[in-house]
Amino acid sequence: MARTLITSAIPYINGIKHLGNLVGSQLPADLYARWCRLRGDEVLFLCATDEHGTPAELAAAKAGKPVAEYCAEMWQVQAGLAEGFRLSFDHFGRSSSPQNHRLTQHFAGQLAENGLIEERVERQVYSVADGRFLPDRYVEGTCPNCGYDRARGDQCENCTKQLDPTDLIEPRSAISGSTELEQRETKHLYLLQSKLKDELDAWIDSQEGWPILTTSIAKKWLHDGEGLQDRGITRDLDWGIPVRKGEDDWPGMEGKVFYVWFDAPIEYIACAAEWVEAGKGEDWERWWREDKGAGDVRYVQFMGKDNVPFHTLSFPATLIGSAEPWKKVDYLKSFNYLNYDGGQFSTSQGRGVFMDQALEILPPDYWRWWLLSHVPESQDTEFTWEKFAADVNKDLADVLGNFVSRITKFCRSKFGEAVPEGGEWGAREEALAERIEAGFSRYSSHMDAIEVRKAASELRSLWVAGNEYLQEAAPWATFKEDPGTAAMQVRMGLNLIRLYAAISSPFIPDACNAMLKSLNLSDAPLPKGRNALTALAPGHAFEVPENLFRKISDEERDGWAARFSGRRE
């Protein structure tokens, strides 16, 4: 049995995420996890909330709550939304967990012992009014590149240019709004990534079949400009993992915490330890330590392109630099951006559809299908309400839903609610079987290769094949002259429903469960050859399901477009 470890980029704790975040990591990761389980792999699918750093403190302050309380509440919210979208995590953890504290401090101690951490004195922004140093995101101001007046001290959300707080025009504290800012000296720890450049370069070169987007971003950070830079791993914050060398104090680092970019990826490993602690699994090290059995694990990561540098360079630098046999990623699937109706999704501006709002207006399968069939693999793609409504109505309601409804209702009216017997396959059925077998082979290949849009297109073609067969065979007409042949055609249609329920479940799990339930089945394995088209024997009872998908009206579409165009309060 193959063993597959899957992680998706862990979302920040600060609020509910929009659909662009969902399709950029968690949703395609879930698709692949479901597929791997279907093909018989032993799967461990992990995700967590990213709870440390500036975003958490700012969001908690805005909510008027202690940061630990805020994070605990938002973890519940995000876990609930993940369940709402049917994300099949084996464990959904927290980067603030005791397991992540211990592992992060362990890695820091190993890196220090191996000469890869250096103490440096630097000048940072200090707010006199707040009485504290201000990490990057605590400083706001006007972007010198595009003039956006709410740019952060690490990056401008409007033009995406990376910044330092000192680059901002008219900088101010994000906490108090005070402009009484100074440059003061403070001491921090740096991970000497530059010492690991050659090892990282060789490791990336050794990876086969990585997406061009992934390798091009990694190589750019390694070789453009001055090449891979050393990076600070500590911050002057109250909320975070205290700086220690394993179990030992770190003199001079009292009151400081590890920088969120350092501890967040380590949570992937810690999450497996949490999974065991929660009683869901055993022996997490067999997934993460190559000396404990992880050598035969295939590790696949999913993330947006903005996270690629941290996962191809900084996190591997931590693992390699520890000189311990930790499992490193085998395949990193990265995505471009999903834009919203002529602009960008924006959490801060509330522009676009957020996960909770999406589930309020439509069930998860509608969103899962559209987002996955339009996932931004090769380039940025755009969500518009016109595209969304048109595709849902065509693909889900007209093609798949209509097929299931027509065949089950016709069978009930002419033969009752059981698979009818009679008739033999003819040339049309043989041609359909060949078409289904070839299409499923292509679909499987695309799913194995994590070519999501191609897989969705092939799945849609398989649904279309059933509709075209039904239209050409026309059992409602055949029944008048040859009831036996009509029974065979209906039997073929019912078996196609079973086939669709099996192969479509990674995309639309709720609809597939409804199809299986209507067929009085608990599950359906992936097809093996044309036997899938005869699996339901004559006499097998079924029930006519409710309509799987309803159509979106023009009025609904236009109303949603207006509702989600402005600021989310």
Counting every residue written for the chain, the total comes to 569
- Residue 79: both structure tokens together: 């876990």
* Distance from chain centroid for Cα 243: 30
- Report residue 425: phi and psi, to 5°: -60, 145
- 533/437 Cα distance (integer angstroms): 10
Say if strands 117-127 and 132-133 run parallel, antiparallel, or are unpaired: antiparallel
Residue 238 neighbours by CB distance under 10 Å: 10
Sign of CA dihedral 266, 267, 268, 272: positive
Which ranges of 49-148 would DSSP assign to H, the alpha helix? 54-63, 67-84, 98-113
What are the beta bridge partners of residue 167? Answer: none
State the DSSP string of 417-448.
SB--------HHHHHHHHHHHHHHHHHHHHHH
Residue 143 annotated as part of some ligand binding site: yes
Exposure string of 343-361, with b = 16+ CB inside 10 Å and e = fewer, is ebbbbeebbbbbbebbbee
Nearest to 4 by CA among 38, 49, 55: 38
Strands 331-335 and 231-232: unpaired
**512 annotated binding-site participant:** no
Q: Is 536 helix (H, G, I), strand (E, B) or coil?
A: coil
How would DSSP label each residue in 185-219? EEEEEEE-GGGGHHHHHHHHHT--S--HHHHHHHH
Place of tokens 């059981």: 418
Q: Cα(404)–Cα(406) distance, rounded to whole angstroms?
A: 6
Distance CA 53, CA 257 (A): 9
**Under 8 Å between Cβ of 501 and 515:** yes
Let me know: does 252 contact 119? Beta carbons within 8 Å: yes
Question: How far, in Å, are 127, 151, 248, 389 from residue 319 at the CA level?
Answer: 36, 33, 20, 45
Q: From 414, 430, 393, select the one nearest 557 (Cα to Cα).
A: 393
Our measurement of the distance from residue 64's CA atom to the centroid of its chain's CA atoms, rounded to an integer in Å, reads: 30
Consult the annotation and say whether 71 binds a ligand: no
Which candidate, 31, 22, 33, 15, places its Cα nearest to that of 82? Answer: 22
Q: What is the largest CA-CA distance in the chain?
A: 92
Q: How far apart are CA 135 and CA 126, in angstroms?
A: 9
Q: Is 146 annotated as a binding residue?
A: yes
| Nearest in space to 179 (alpha carbons), one of 188, 170, 167 | 170
CB 211 within 8 A of CB 333: yes
Distance CA(171)–CA(153), nearest Å, equals 9
Is 234 marked within a binding site?
A: no
d(CA 146, CA 139): 17
Residue list, annotated binding site: 143, 146, 156, 159, 347
Residue list, annotated binding site for Zn(2+): 143, 146, 156, 159
Residue list, annotated binding site for ATP: 347
